[in-house]
């Protein structure tokens, strides 16, 4: 109620609004920008350029198949996190592919066998 009373007092000219000071931001994070916009056509081109199926692209993007279909059919737009992944997929697809694969054993290592499971009961 206090906020409403203040707002009404400002509207009636009885009070002055708070003064807002704008300052230029400086520091290590001020040069960061958000990801670009990706159209349905551009998203499809990224996937095709990567040479992956829609099902594999879904796994790379860590989302549902219906989500990727909606992007590629211009029904929905990707959220901010997905836009950033699309940017990585477009600019450095090898990075997205590399981090999405199962860990590869070192050349000197032999792959460990998975434990055998047996049914009990």
pLDDT tens-place string over residues 49-77: 999 999 999 999 999 999 999 999 999 99
Is the confidence at residue 104, as pLDDT, over 70? Answer: no
The full set of domain ranges for the chain reads 40-100
Write down the pTM of the prediction: 0.61
Give the phi and the psi of residue 35 in degrees, each rounded to 5: -70, 155
DSSP, res 63: S
Cα-based angle 95, 97, 102 (whole degrees, multiple of 5): 115
Distance CA 71, CA 44 (A): 9
- pLDDT tens string 24-41: 667 776 777 888 999 999
Is the pLDDT at 106 greater than 60? The verdict is: no
Sign of CA dihedral 54, 93, 99, 67: negative
Q: The CATH number of 40-100 is which of 3.30.1360, 1.10.260, 3.30.1330, 2.60.40?
A: 1.10.260
Alpha-carbon span 10 to 117, nearest angstrom: 72
């Amino acid at each position: 109620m206090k906020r409403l009373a203040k707002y009404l007092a400002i509207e009636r000219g009885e009070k002055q609004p708070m003064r807002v000071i704008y300052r230029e931001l400086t520091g290590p994070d001020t040069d960061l920008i958000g990801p670009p916009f990706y159209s349905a056509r551009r998203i499809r081109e990224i996937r095709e350029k990567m040479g992956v199926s829609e099902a594999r692209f879904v796994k790379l993007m860590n989302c549902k198949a219906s989500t990727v279909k909606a992007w590629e059919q211009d029904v929905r737009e990707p959220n901010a996190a997905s836009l950033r992944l699309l940017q990585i997929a477009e600019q450095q697809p090898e990075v997205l592919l590399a981090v999405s694969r199962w860990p590869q054993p070192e050349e000197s290592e032999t792959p460990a066998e998975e434990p055998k499971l047996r049914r009990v009961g």
